[in-house]
Chains A and B, each alone.
Chain A
Amino acid sequence: MKPGELKLPYLFQPGQLGRFKIKNRIKYGACCVSNYNTRDGYITEREFARMRVIARTGCGMITNQGAYPDPLGEGKAYFRQVAIFDDKFLPQFERIAADIKEQGAMAIQQILHAGRYGGIDLGYCIQPSDVPQTLPHFRPPKVMTKDEIRDCIRQHAQAADRAIRAGFDGTEVTSFMGYLLANFNSRFTNQRSDEYGGSIENRGRFMRELIDGIKQATPDNPLVVRLNGAELMDKWGGNTEDECFELMRQAADAGVDMISVTVGWQEAPESSIGRDIPPGYWNYLSERAKKTCPNTVITFGNRLPDPRMADECLRDGVFDFWEVCRPLLADPDLIHKAAEDRLDETRRCIGSLNCLSRLFRDLPYTCTMNPALGHEVEPEYQVTPATVKKKIMIIGAGPAGMECAITAVKRGHDVTVFDKAGRVGGSLYAYAMNDLARPDDLLSVISHYEVVAKKLGIAIRLNTEVHAKFMRSVLHQYDVCVIAAGASTDRTHYESIEGAELMVDALDVAHGRIAAGKRVVVIGGGKVGLTVAEALRKNQGADVTVVEKSKRIAGDVKPSFKWRHASWVEELGIPCLTSSRLVKVTKDSVTVRDGKGVETVLPADTVIFADGAKPAHDLFHEFEWMVDELHGVGDAMIPRGLEQAIQEGFRLGVRL
């Protein structure tokens, strides 16, 4: 046994599902449709390459992403979702099943009929009842007739049979997160008065018939059903948790082999899987599922990203299999690192939900933490030995610089990283220290870089500012210079404002270099300004006002997190003056003018500037004639965010 397997004995013990022996207790969950495929449901080479990575994650059971089962595409939820409604798709599924099984894993094919969230190419979606959408992204509903229900069940059964004929060992149907199965189960969307609606027994009828139909079509192969332990829709008239567990009992009684316990609907007013939910928060749902369905195998993994926590849960009987997906998007080697006792090297999923945010803009999914994800098919994204070994200096130990350094060293280059600060992390450290959601996730990015850099022998010279004089002192010692120095405050547009010099920089406050007072005005309602404002309000009890020149705050925040800032500023009582511009700063006040020209004087002992950032273009001009190759990455090129920093650092690292 490998050293990590000894430390995590429950995770790496073999399991069984039906007649299939499974090498460990880890199920790769079909958490995300990739959107890498053709518009008519065929799998692309990009997808096959991605699946090869998934097949090699080391999971004992691997679920292939959901395929829609109907030729009309009523079940199709995503722009480039895979289809399984016809035998013409068989060869592509054969290829995926073979690849998974070649790695010694059990292969499961998910059948995903999106119901309320489906019909993406159509002008409607199908549902049990006429319940309108609450998110404008989705299509207006069309009520299913009984004949259509029967057809739908038949299509699922045929799809399952097709998956088994393609070589999959089992199939999965999913209600997560508000798909067709959930629509029938839930009181919110099922308001039928026939035998498919009304009582919970009737609402569960579609599920039971679905299970029965698939089991009849594939009697020798396990069937997994993903069911909500909590819909988080109960305030809107959806199911209570008690009802969710009653439905689980029905599924178990109907003969399902495994229940995957999930949480939340897409449109639920509460968060379920984002960064603000602490790991382990939903474990109680899995514990209850185990008690409710003692003879059915239970798998679970919502907001449970750590193999050590999963091992403890398995030990304590919280579930039988750990279902994991997003953490394996961030680090496909997570299971191997766990087995080899190298978890300190893990790239953690930080729950930014970049993956989902992109899907709902009809884009292929990507991962903030894993820049190679989705590019597996492209040789240009592979870390290959460098033809010419170079001596590289990287200016800046933030995510862009460290990502570039690590990638370049893996290719055989000799890399030294310089940073004027006393620690690795750059602006990410400041952001993490002020983050109200979960600083630990963001700090894990920094510790990942520190650990891996140390193991790879990357020299990091902290407290060392690289300027022209320094560059002259190291002239001809380096073949390549990478500027990853991040952005700095840009006050160009504020120079003419009276008292502008009294403002302090948001990053200085965020880093703790400057202490803010008790009455604070933050100029700039983007992610930096909001993060600092929220931290000062919550952690120090300061009275904080945010002044933003645009009509809305959080303009540079990821779609998946905008709502969080909007909620925080309201919960914390932070006034946000939008469409407002700074007029004047004095030592104890700020004057701002709103869109109608009305001026307001805000008392302030500290005015924090968070409205502009400029790239490090000056360094490019200074160093241009001092080194053979000069490159730039991240905010030093264009100020943006963590994802772009990591992506660009990697992309440059694989090319140098």
Chain B
Amino acid sequence: MSPLPDVVTWSAAAARHDELFAALTPGARIGLVAREAPTSMLLWEASDAGIQARAAPFPGYFDSGADILLSANAAALAAIYTAVDGQLFYVMRAGIRNGDIICYMLSRRCELEVQGFDELLDALGFAFMGACR
């Protein structure tokens, strides 16, 4: 059984937080993989029709096509499961802060800005992180 949520649940989660995805340009992608066994991934992908969720094999970080990739350990995935219908971004933000989730940036800051990632990165806590501590 995949440790990741199913596509329908992941799609519904995006719909619940549509304001975070509203500015994304078509083609922008956010991936989720299990850190311990990154064989498959879940993607949120922006399109003209809105945010679509889909599952795909995980071909490696750089071939994943994601702009940002969340690599969650088992504890974080369990927390995501529990929160997927509610405070999902609160849980993911906390996971990033406590080290249970690594958020890889596969596109540069300038590219992410152009693609409309501001709100999403803010929700993941990145407006408040940086190399200054």
B2 at the interface (CB under 8 A from A): no
Q: Please tell me if the beta carbons of A269 and B96 are within 8 angstroms of each other in the complex.
A: yes
Other-chain contact of B112, A136, A360, A551 (Cβ < 8 Å)? A136
**Which residues of A are found within 8 Å of B97, using beta-carbon distances?**
269, 567
Residue of A nearest to B113 (CB): A136
Contact B62 A132 (CB under 8 A): yes
> Which A residues are in CB contact (< 8 Å) with B93?
570
Q: How far is the CB of B24 from chain A (nearest CB, A)?
A: 15
Q: Is B1 close to A, CB under 8 A?
A: no
Whether A133 pairs with B105 at a CB distance below 8 angstroms is yes
CA separation between A353 and B133, bound complex, in Å? 7
Complex interface: stretch among A64-72, A239-247, A270-278, A443-451: A270-278
Q: Evaluate contact between B131 and A140: CB separation under 8 angstroms.
A: no
**Given known contacts A235-B100, A567-B97, is B129 in contact with A135 (CB within 8 Å)?**
yes
Q: Which of A40-48, A555-563, A629-637, A646-654 contacts B (4 or more CB under 8 A)?
A: A555-563
A554 lies within 8 A of chain B by Cβ: yes
Q: A356-B131, A560-B133 are contacts. A136–B126 as well, Cβ < 8 Å? A: yes
Q: In the docked arrangement, what's the CA distance between A360 and B132, Å?
A: 8
Q: Is the interface of B mostly helix, strand, loop or mixed?
A: mixed
Q: Does B94 contact A (CB under 8 A)?
A: yes
- How far does the Cβ of B77 sit from chain A's closest Cβ, in whole Å? 15
In the complex, whether B106 has a CB less than 8 A from a CB of chain A is yes
A137 within 8 A of B: yes
CB distance from A134 to the nearest CB of B (A): 6
**Which A residue's beta carbon lies closest to that of B100?**
A235
What 1/0 mask marks residues of chain B from 91 to 133 whose CB sits below 8 Å from any chain A CB? 0011011111011111111001000000101100111111111
Cβ of B58: which chain A residues have Cβ within 8 Å of it?
none
Q: Mark A202-246, 1 if CB is under 8 A from B, else 0.
A: 000000000000000000000000000000001111000000000
The reply to whether the CB of B81 lies closer than 8 angstroms to some CB of chain A is: no
- Quick one: closest A residue to B132, CB to CB? A560
B125 close to A236 (CB less than 8 A): no
With A357-B132, A360-B132, A554-B128 in contact, do A140 and B98 touch (Cβ < 8 Å)? no
* Cβ–Cβ < 8 Å partners of B103 in chain A: 134
Name the A residues within 8 Å of B100 (CB-CB).
Answer: 235
Q: Is the pair B129, A272 in contact by a Cβ cutoff of 8 Å?
A: no
- Determine how close the nearest CB of chain B comes to the CB of A401; give it in whole angstroms: 29
Report the separation of the CA atoms of residues A268 and B96 in the bound assembly, to the nearest whole angstrom: 10
Residue contact B107 to A136, C-beta cutoff 8 Å:
yes
Cβ contacts under 8 Å, A237 to chain B? 35
Let me know if B42 is at the binding interface, CB within 8 A: no
Bound: A354/B38 CA distance, A: 39
A-contact 0/1 string along B63-98, CB 8 Å cutoff: 000000100000000000000000000100110111
How near does chain A come to B96, taking the closest CB pair, in angstroms? 7
CB-CB under 8 A from A570, the residues of chain B are 90, 93-94
**5 A-B pairs with C-beta separation under 8 A:** A235-B100, A273-B133, A560-B132, A563-B130, A570-B94
Residues of chain B touching chain A, judged by Cβ–Cβ distance below 8 Å, are 35, 60-62, 69, 90, 93-94, 96-100, 102-109, 112, 119, 121-122, 125-133
Question: Knowing that A133-B105, A552-B122 are A-B contacts, what are 7 other residue pairs whose CB atoms are under 8 Å apart, sorted by A's residue number?
Answer: A135-B105, A136-B107, A136-B108, A136-B112, A563-B128, A566-B125, A570-B94
Q: Which 3 A-B pairs have the closest CB atoms?
A: A235-B99, A563-B128, A560-B132
Where the two chains meet, the residues of A that have a C-beta atom closer than 8 Å to any C-beta of B are: 117, 130-140, 234-237, 264, 266-274, 353, 356-357, 360, 551-552, 554, 559-560, 562-567, 570
